[in-house]
């Protein structure tokens, strides 16, 4: 590039400093010789803390990573793992990564050490999880909707018979209470079934410009009312410069109402629900031939009881509920609505501390 080499060196240094992938170079003794800023973010440790240290110390406990380094050092060939490596940092969350370790050769063919390229896979994993959930939901939804259809007719018969019976029972009879329960509960089952059929019915969404700030404001007002008398504080934190998005207002209202309702219900005695909206700095939607579309993120965060890690997987399954009078269709419905808007959902939770559900929606055109 340049005969004297110096500007080229500084270009190398700039590229190295600005790479989004973490780059770690080890010398022949396996000591850390280079550690770029992305590596510092990825491993949660500064360059100063690790330069000159043995890599076994930095990678302690990461057997697969140590194996890759050892193998590249001994065999002089590149080796990668795109599946199995998760970096455990001092501050959670653990980071899934793909790693390639390549030997470094000098111009005269001597081996100098190895270089590791470490790529953050957390966003890829989030998206994979969202796709898996959608697939599972569509199969379950179709099955359950078929079943719901079968239940609706006999249920109508039961309710009709209970109403007839109710009319036959004298006004002051204690039996009246039983017929009342029969009718009410039949109606409740019917409501659940309608909701379930809604979930699977292919009604195309009706898109128009939706002011999410207003939708969220209304939901908060409504939920404040619904939780009157309980010690729950609702907060709205919205970037006012966000333009309206193209979406189905009814469906989006239902989506956020379900999430805010869940947040309120997760709080046992006293707590806080915060709804924040901003433009995503992490993700954008890429369509072949189009410019990348930005995403808006709406986060509904509560200080409620949280969700055990082993239960996170079940939340979107229709009918999964831990509430005595829940239908278990809320989140399944949310997932469907988010899919119809070509967005995705992400849930993070720590038991005892609270839950955060974030909805990412693209600005469609
Ligand atoms: N914010 C939250 N905090 C803690 N647990 C949650 C939260 N949101 C959902 N869950 C868990 O996920 C389950 C399923 O939620 P979903 O909204 O699908 O159904 P539901 O709330 O039980 O019933 P419905 O929405 O019909 O009232 C809940 O029963 C609860 O255990
Ligand atoms: Mg719910």
* Segments making up each domain of the chain, as ranges: 6-120, 122-202, 205-365
257 lines ligand 1 (CB under 6 A): no
- The 10s digit of each residue's pLDDT in 38-62 is 999 899 889 999 999 999 999 999 9
Count how many residues are written for the chain.
365
Please tell me the distance between residue 259's alpha carbon and the centre of ligand 2 in angstroms: 7
- Nearest protein CA to atom 12 of ligand 1, as residue: 315
Q: What is the pLDDT of residue 288?
A: 63
Residue 240 has what pLDDT? 85
Per-residue pLDDT tens digits for 249-306:
988 998 999 999 999 999 998 999 999 999 987 767 666 666 677 889 999 999 999 9
Prediction pTM value? 0.66
Question: Is 259 a pocket residue for ligand 1 (Cβ < 6 Å)?
Answer: no
Ligand 1 center to 340 CA (angstroms): 21
Q: Would you say the CB of residue 304 lies under 6 angstroms from ligand 1?
A: yes
Any ligand 1 atom below 6 A from CB of 326: yes
Taking only the tens place, the pLDDT of each residue in 84-117 is 899 988 777 789 999 999 999 988 888 899 999 9
- For domain 205-365, give its CATH number from 3.40.50.1240, 3.30.565.10, 3.10.20.740, 3.50.50.60: 3.30.565.10
Compute the distance from residue 151 Cα to the ligand 2 centre, in Å: 23
| Two domains, one topology: 122-202 and 205-365 | no
Average pLDDT over residues 200-205: 70
Ligand 2 mean position, distance from CA 135 (Å): 21
6-120: CATH topology is Beta-Lactamase (3.30.450)
- 122-202 adopts what CATH topology? Helix Hairpins (1.10.287)
> To the nearest whole number, what is the mean pLDDT of the chain?
88
């Amino acid at each position: 590039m340049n005969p004297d080499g110096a500007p080229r060196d500084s270009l190398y240094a700039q590229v190295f400093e600005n790479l989004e992938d973490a780059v770690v170079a080890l010398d022949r003794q396996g000591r850390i010789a280079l550690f770029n800023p992305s590596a510092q973010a990825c491993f949660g440790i500064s360059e100063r803390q690790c330069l000159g240290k043995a890599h076994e110390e930095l990678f302690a406990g990461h057997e697969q990573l140590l194996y890759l380094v050892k193998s590249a050092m001994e065999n002089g060939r590149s080796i990668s793992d795109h599946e199995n490596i998760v970096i455990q940092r001092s501050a959670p969350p653990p980071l899934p990564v793909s790693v390639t370790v390549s030997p470094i050769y000098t111009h005269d063919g001597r081996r100098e050490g190895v270089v590791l390229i470490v790529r953050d896979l957390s966003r890829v994993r989030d998206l994979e999880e969202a796709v898996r959930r959608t697939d599972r939901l569509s199969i379950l939804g179709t099955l359950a909707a078929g079943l719901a259809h079968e239940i609706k007719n006999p249920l109508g018969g039961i309710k009709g018979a209970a109403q007839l019976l109710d009319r036959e029972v004298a006004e002051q009879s204690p039996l009246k209470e039983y017929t009342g329960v029969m009718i009410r509960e039949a109606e409740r089952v019917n409501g659940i079934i309608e909701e379930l059929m809604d979930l699977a019915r292919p009604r195309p969404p009706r898109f128009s410009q939706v002011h999410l700030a207003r939708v969220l404001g209304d939901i908060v007002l409504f939920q404040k009312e619904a939780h009157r008398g309980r010690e729950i504080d609702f907060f709205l934190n919205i970037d006012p410069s966000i333009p309206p998005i193209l979406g189905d207002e009814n469906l989006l209202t239902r989506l956020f109402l379900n999430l805010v309702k869940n947040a309120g219900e997760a709080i046992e005695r006293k707590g806080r629900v915060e709804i924040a909206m901003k433009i995503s700095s992490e993700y954008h939607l890429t369509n072949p031939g189009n410019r990348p579309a930005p995403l808006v993120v709406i986060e509904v965060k509560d200080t409620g009881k949280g969700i055990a890690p082993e239960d996170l997987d079940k939340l979107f399954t229709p009918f999964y509920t831990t509430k005595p009078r829940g239908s278990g269709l809320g989140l399944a419905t949310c997932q469907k609505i988010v899919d119809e808007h070509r967005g995705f959902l992400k849930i993070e939770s720590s038991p005892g501390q609270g839950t955060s559900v974030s909805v990412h929606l693209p600005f469609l055109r």
